[in-house]
Structures are given as structure tokens and as C-alpha cells.
Amino acid sequence: MKLLYEMNILSDYINHDFAPLDAKDAVSSAQDFFIDLNFSHFPVIENGIFIGNVSAEDVDGFDFSKNLNEYKYTFETFFTRTTSVLLDVLDDFAKNESNVIPVLDEQNNYVGYYELEDVIRVFNETPFLRELGGVIIVEKEINKYSFSQITQIVEGNNGKLLGAFISNIDAEKVQVTVKLGEGGMNDIIQTFRRYEYEIISEHQEDEHLKTLKERSDYLDKYLNI
């Protein structure tokens, strides 16, 4: 799912407070690192290249007299990109049950890491969740829709677009969930129909938005474990 809104790029929140662990580091050093810091995982590099994430739980069971490179087979290789939008990063956190996600650029260079607490804070402050408004789901043939057209339809009817994301897609059609500021809903719906969008649903609080809120609540609970 792709979410579009004013704060869709998270690069300002890439963290550099702690350098990645090195595969040559002693296990004992990594154990001390996780004792001092409440991270579930942390990225590991080898010769400056990201090779995976080691978990605090695994490190606790390693032989303290060895080096991390002897346990590379336990490393988890999840990461996100500098270009990833907020919803993608939230999905990365949830799928990998981690409170740290390493960030790589398009050339696979290690850039830094996101912390779950920071990303949840950004998510909860977005207009998509915070602002009151209505939600509609529109559907159109995949080769005929565009986000620029959706924006034009909303703003051409004096509406305020708070967010939009692809909530379903197949080989022929795409569904887009659109959150609108209050007012002008009927005119916007009629214009969508004139542009050959089918109105799949129209709710003040749509199930897709509820799912996003539930995902945020889950991550909040995970953060506090």
C-alpha cells in the first residue's frame, strides 16, 4: 500500500546516534550494548557493508568469548529504503517485530536506522489520522487512474485531500482509499462518477482507516513491552 500526504518521506528521522555493530566485534561487546539499550535488534556491518540484523535475544545466548561473525547465520536481513514512505516503514516494523529498522539507499549503502517510537509519533501526527473528515473508496481501470487526477477532482470541488492510498489492486482495476476534509463530499463523489470512477464505499470512518489505526495501536503496545 502506498500512502500520499504531506509527510510521506521520513528521511529527517533517520537516526545516527549509535554506529552499527561490526561483524568483528566481540560477542561480549554486543551483549553489553543490548544490556544498556532497549533495542530488539541492531544492524551489523562487515567491511562497511550491511549484512543483517542481530537480535538481542540471540546475542544473549551466544558464547561471549567469540566474535559476531561466527553467528552470521542467525542474522535477519530486513531493512527499508531512504525513499520508503511512512506506511511501508510501519509495515516493516510490524512484519519483523522489531523496534529498529536499518535504512539503506538505492545503492544498498547503510545510511542509519529508524526507531519505532519516532515513526509511530510521526504516523499519529499525520492529517490522515488526526484530522476529522470522510473516507471514500473509488475504483477505476488500472491504466486510466492517476493520483494527480484524484487530487484535481477533490480540489476542483473545493475539497481538502488529507490522504490517499492504494488499498486494492489486480491486473485490471485499482481501488484507492481517499480521506477528505469536511465539506463538499457529494459534489466530489458526483465528479468522480463523471470521470468514470466507481464509488465502492462512502463512510465517515472507513474500515481501511480503522485497520490503519489498529496497526498503530498494535505497534504502540509492542513498543511498550
pLDDT at res. 9: 56
Ranked by mean pLDDT, the top range of 4-8, 11-15, 27-31 is 27-31
* Mean pLDDT on 20-36: 97
pLDDT at res. 183: 67
pLDDT at res. 68: 97
Could you tell me the pTM of the whole model? 0.63
Q: Which of 29, 156, 187 is nearest to 42 (CA)?
A: 29
Is residue 140 within 8 A of residue 173, CB to CB? The reply is: yes
Please write the tens of the pLDDT for every residue from 92-143.
888 899 999 999 998 999 999 999 999 888 877 776 667 777 888 899 999 9
Please write the tens of the pLDDT for every residue from 65-97.
999 999 999 999 999 998 887 877 887 888 899
Least confident of 51-55, 90-94, 143-147: 90-94
* Mean pLDDT on 6-34: 88
DSSP character string of 7-54: T---GGG-B-SSPPEETTSBHHHHHHHHHHS--SEEEEEETTEEEEEE
Distance of CA 168 to the CA centre of its chain: 17
